[in-house]
Amino acid sequence: MHKGLARKVLFGAVATAMLAAAPVAKAEQFINILTGGTSGVYYPLGVALSQIYNDNIEGARAQVQSTKASVENLNLLQQGRGELAFALGDSVKLGWEGNTEAGFKGKLDKLRGLAAIYPNYIQLVATKDSGIATLADLKGKSLSVGAPKSGTELNARTIFGAAGMSYDDLGKTEYLPFAESVELMKNRQLDATLQSAGLGVASIRDLATTNDITVVSVPSDLVEKIGAPYITATIPAGTYRGQDADVPTAAVVNFLVTQADVPEETVYQMTKQLYANLDRLVAAHGAAKAIKAENALNGMPLPLHPGAERYYKEVGLIK
């Protein structure tokens, strides 16, 4: 064989051998995390999760999307436009059932459960000078009930229904995200806001630094009348500036939800890294202090994703 040709054959063989021996690069796994408004609790926790996943899941490219929260998030998951979403328990249940009045076109059959996380507290806050001290005092007043057909707005409708009231009893109903509601209250253009969020939500903290507020109670007998997934809860004294006493209210558990098309290994890692890095979530928002692995399956209204199920079996939460 000609020397030049032999050399080319040799080099070709070596190159082929090197390619065969080289590790196959893992395909990038895109993880779009669906949250809520930037002044709520979902968003900072979603940002923290995206950083955790980028740091700890090989090949992960995680990003956060700010949305109108629960209902929109679940619809986006069904459409394959997200891999992980925060959502309120009642919204998740209604989405799985395909409740059209709640904002779902039909049964969201691709939804899969990942974890129950922390409770959302129904936080009904009025400016002190509005004179609102009870639910009944809202009659004839202006109230923001959250973005249309958001999880918060579903909560507002449920609370009003149990109290024998409707939006028709209000002087004005606004459908605004948390931060916009607070800005109107600061400008004396709105009397009250109902916000379904973790304790110490940034929007209400912001309001309390500039305005005297009243945190209005949702009585326990009304919450018991509604029933699951609503539970009685307390907003502890001192949660917000000027709030000197405990305030009874309702709470609804939040869930992390994924969808059936996300690979099992990805969901396994998302679940595992969630619990391995709880300190980083708590640093992002104090609401994460309530996230505990032993509570992950409590009240789960969806079938678990196989990746999450694998993790819970591994740690002994599923036998």
Same domain for 132 and 198, yes or no, is yes
Q: How far is CA 285 from CA 44, 45, 250, in A?
A: 7, 7, 20
- 41 in any annotated domain: yes
- pLDDT tens-place string over residues 38-65: 988 999 999 999 999 999 999 999 999 9
Lowest mean pLDDT among 161-170, 197-206, 244-253: 197-206
- 13 in any annotated domain: no
- pLDDT tens-place string over residues 49-107: 999 999 999 999 999 999 999 999 999 999 999 999 999 999 999 999 999 989 999 99
pTM, to two decimals: 0.79
Same domain for 220 and 273, yes or no, is no
Same domain for 166 and 44, yes or no, is no
Strand-strand pairing, 172-174 and 142-144: parallel
- 16 in any annotated domain: no
- 9 in any annotated domain: no
Give me 171's structure tokens: 């002087």
Same domain for 106 and 154, yes or no, is no
Asked if 263 contacts 114 with a C-beta cutoff of 8 angstroms, the reply is no
Same domain for 113 and 125, yes or no, is no
Same domain for 258 and 113, yes or no, is yes
Report helix, strand or coil for 112. strand
Is 70 exceeded by the pLDDT of residue 2? Answer: no
pLDDT exceeding 90 applies to what percent of the chain?
83
- 152 in any annotated domain: yes
Q: Which residue type is seen at 152?
A: T
Q: Other CB atoms closer than 10 Å to residue 263's CB: what's the count?
A: 14
- 75 in any annotated domain: yes
- pLDDT tens-place string over residues 201-228: 999 999 999 999 999 999 999 999 998 7
Exposure of 245 by Cβ count < 10 A (0-12 exposed, 13-18 middle, 19+ buried)?
Answer: exposed
Same domain for 115 and 133, yes or no, is no
Mean pLDDT of 226-244: 93
- 5 in any annotated domain: no
In angstroms, the CA 252 to CA 141 distance is 26
Same domain for 229 and 151, yes or no, is yes
Q: What is the CATH number of the domain that holds 220?
A: 3.40.190.10
- 201 vs 15 pLDDT, higher one: 201
Same domain for 76 and 136, yes or no, is no
- 196 in any annotated domain: yes
Mean pLDDT of 147-170: 93
Task: Count how many domains the chain has.
Answer: 2
Same domain for 132 and 226, yes or no, is yes
Encode 8-26: b = buried (16+ Cβ within 10 Å), e = exposed: eeeeeeeeeeeeeeeeeee
Same domain for 164 and 198, yes or no, is yes
Same domain for 201 and 88, yes or no, is no
Task: Write out the residue range of the structural domain in which residue 149 sits.
Answer: 120-252
* Residue 142: pLDDT band with limits 50, 70, 90: very high
Is 80 exceeded by the pLDDT of residue 192? Answer: yes
**Closest to 36 (Cα-Cα) out of 80, 88, 79, 83:** 88
**Closest to 83 (Cα-Cα) out of 53, 55, 103:** 53
Q: Give the residue from 213, 232, 252 where a domain finishes.
A: 252
